[in-house]
A = this chain, B = another copy of it.
């Protein structure tokens, strides 16, 4: 990077909401997008007339594959009643909607538009698990999936390299999963808003079992150690290391800084944007770090003038538990090899010094891939505004948070830094 990226015009986030994430038999992507959009309208402190939306930037990974429907832009402008306003779809695998967010920010910063809707959506559950696995694998490098790799295998390979170098084991990853369930239990939009114990009871068709207070980690950990509950998916990764198949949508409203106060009493500023690309596995010099995340962090920190110590909370891409651990290192929150220790010591829990994935993360909030990037940004926005409900972090003077999104085998990674200035 030869120069510091800067936006010529400030951009603020003044509205946002997500649909419930999950696997929905009776709802399609339009229903979920409408849910998110309508709740987003309600979230704008001073209201928004939808007719004032000048453009839509949409993140979607592959409605082509999942729904045999491409070109979602005009389907959604019609759904929202904003034809002939323009729409563009962005794709970067599981980071698709982080790319839509960046494009929306850049569109406003460029002066082209003042008021932009950023959306993300994916509907995956109508396809079989085998088909979803195939569809997702297409987001890895052609040098990977054509040789038989699918994502659990890819991240298992990465986990193996990490465990070897830093003398850790799969059991050390339990802390990441336990934290995800602990947080998601407080998130009414989460796909798995339950403790592991409750989830087991549901699966045993005791679904009406009364909701329990969050048990101790020790109690919950016992479940994760049981191979019947938590079988190996791709050694050394187990079921509870993996994020689920999900449907869901999310909407965010971006406006130019100079008009932000007209929409929100507490506008949140886009302080830093960063993105990088990465090599396929066979070209990586080191499997225990992601060059794309490092590039994204470098850009976003440079733009914002902030560093990893300034980031008070973060959503970090946890398609697999090992991904969260490594990325907390790549982002500079912890030294290489220290991420797994930090998770085990509880440093990344909601009450800890560096809360990570207060939403429940991809693992428990759910991972409708094209919606994930904007849903991560939404969580930071809610927390910065003190609107995260029961899962609000107990930090005084919370002002800076970040969202990290990954696509493919780290082929695309982004970091977005939000800052509350007022």
Indicate the member of A84, A89, A91, A92 with the most B CB atoms within 10 Å: A84
Q: Does A254 contact B (CB under 8 A)?
A: no
Task: Give chain B nearest CB distance to A8 CB in angstroms.
Answer: 4
A74 with B294: CB separation less than 8 A: no
Q: Does A141 contact B (CB under 8 A)?
A: yes
Interface size class of A (residues with CB under 8 A): 35 or more
Within 8 A of B (CB), among A278-328: 278-280, 283, 291-292, 294-296
Q: Which of B8, B89, B110, B276 contacts A85 (CB 8 A)?
A: B276
Residues on the B chain within 8 Å of A277, using CB:
73-74, 77-78, 82-87
Task: Give chain B nearest CB distance to A178 CB in angstroms.
Answer: 31
Q: Does A263 contact B (CB under 8 A)?
A: no
Residue of B nearest to A290 (CB): B84
Bound: A82/B88 CA distance, A: 25
Residues on the B chain within 8 Å of A82, using CB:
277
Q: Which of A35-43, A206-214, A234-242, A407-415 contacts B (4 or more CB under 8 A)?
A: A407-415
Bound: A93/B55 CA distance, A: 17
Task: Give chain B nearest CB distance to A84 CB in angstroms.
Answer: 4
Task: Give chain B nearest CB distance to A214 CB in angstroms.
Answer: 37
Residues on the B chain within 8 Å of A85, using CB:
276-277, 295
Q: Does A64 contact B (CB under 8 A)?
A: yes
Bound: A91/B2 CA distance, A: 30
Residues on the B chain within 8 Å of A142, using CB:
69, 75
Bound: A87/B91 CA distance, A: 10
Residues on the B chain within 8 Å of A138, using CB:
64, 68-71
Q: Does A196 contact B (CB under 8 A)?
A: no
Residues on the B chain within 8 Å of A182, using CB:
none
Q: Does A111 contact B (CB under 8 A)?
A: yes
> Which 7 pairs across A and B sit closest by C-beta, in order of nearness?
A74-B411, A86-B275, A109-B110, A84-B295, A8-B111, A84-B276, A77-B277
Give A contacts to B, CB under 8 Å: 2-3, 5-9, 52, 55, 61-62, 64-65, 68-71, 73-75, 77-78, 82-93, 99, 102-103, 105-107, 109-114, 135, 138-142, 273, 275-280, 283, 291-292, 294-296, 407-408, 411-412, 414
